[in-house]
Structure 1
Amino acid sequence: MDIFVEQLVKKKRDSKDYLIILAGIIGALLVIYVLGALMFSIPLMGFIIFIVACGLIYLLYMLITSVNLEYEYCFTNGSFDVDAIVNVRKRKRLTEFNAREVEIMAKRSHPDFERYMNNQSYQKVYACVDKNSSELYFAVYNENGSGKMLLFNPNEKIRDGFKKFNPQKVVLD
């Protein structure tokens, strides 16, 4: 029997996201202010400032909407793919691996979570709603010879799929 499960989770904005937006707004205002001061000393500067302001508004829009992140989990017969979707317009593959190759998959409350989290040899892949969520799970695996640790919020069907393909390494309690 084939197993196919998809899940879409939306990342909550955190303080880092708000700082990025604030820095973008302040930077755009500073550039417009400096160009405004130059407007009176250089002829035709008003037109240039208008063009630059339009460009800055567009870039600011792109920056603000780029923090709207969703993650798509796709579990197909043991193969697990994670994509990041930026503002429903751009998709990027974050990682892919087979459930049979997982070293461990468990909830954040598992005793091994901190050990793997503090181990710098594992690259962290964040595809979760919130890093501090009580429903956060982690999966440790190898991809192209390097150790990775995925932090994600799988639903019950995806967790059961992992358990079916690798029952010894998946801890759901």
Structure 2
Amino acid sequence: MDTFAEQLVVKPMTPADQAKKFGLIAATGILCLGLAYLSVMVMPLILLVVCAVAYGGYFLVTGMNVEYEYSVTNGELDVDKIIAKRKRKHMLTVKIAEFETFGLESEAKFDNNITTFLVGDGDEAHYYAADFQHEGMGLVRLVFSPNERILEAIRPSLKRGLR
């Protein structure tokens, strides 16, 4: 029987992200106003530059909106990063049967030698951690926040000791 489940998770804005967004908006606004003031002298060229700066600012600010998509298909977990709903970046694919550990992140043992991917929704109470061996990065810990549907799709593919 084929299994398929997917979930979109919106990355929350941290205070640092909000400060960057505010700084970008302020810098774009100041630059546009300054260039508009100069447009009195060289009207057509500066007006074109103002439009380009405004679009560039919009592009950068909306590019800070990030979502993660988890999809479980026949025993494989795919994680993709979606930037501003216009660009998709594949992060990793792993066979669920290769998980060495799986469970709540709060119960996982901390280890400095593990490469960690945090792809969650900001609510740390229901983060899950999965440790597995990756051919390029060595031992990897994926920290993510699956919903119940994703968990139900993961459980049948886990090793017996992890269920």
Output the CA distance in 2 between the equivalents of 1:6 and 1:75: 6
1:104 aligns with 2:96: no
**Other structure's SS at 1:129 match:** coil
Q: Per-residue deviation at 1:110?
A: 0.6
Report how far residue 157 of structure 1 moved. 2.8
Aligned to 1:93: 90
Pairs within 5 Å for 1:127-142: 127-130=119-122, 132-142=123-133
Structure 2 counterpart of 1:136, one-letter code: Y
Matched, 1:151 2:143: yes
* Matched residue type, 1:88: K
CA distance in 2, matches of 1:29, 1:7: 36
Distance 2:71 2:108 in 1: 27
Counterpart position of 2:8: 8
User: What is the correspondence of 1:1-173 to structure 2 with a 5 Å cutoff?
Assistant: 1-32=1-32, 35=35, 39=38, 43-44=41-42, 46-112=43-109, 115-116=110-111, 119=112, 121-130=113-122, 132-146=123-137, 147-168=139-160, 170=162
* Structure 1 segments unaligned to the other structure (5+ residues): none
Counterpart amino acid of 2:128?
A: Y
Task: Tell me the TM-score normalized by structure 1.
Answer: 0.79
Between the two proteins, what is the percent identity of the paired residues?
A: 29
Question: Which region of structure 1 is more displaced relative to structure 2, 9-18 or 159-168?
Answer: 159-168
TM-score scaled by length of structure 2: 0.84
Q: Deviations over 1:93-139 (max 9, x none)?
A: 11110001112111122142xx13xx1x3222222111x52111111
Partner Cα separation in structure 2 for residue 158 and residue 170 of structure 1: 16
Name the CA shift for 1:102/1:111 in 2 (closer, same or farther; >3 Å).
Answer: closer
Q: Secondary structure at the match of 2:124?
A: coil
Whether the 8 Å CA contact 1:103–1:169 is kept in 2: the answer is no
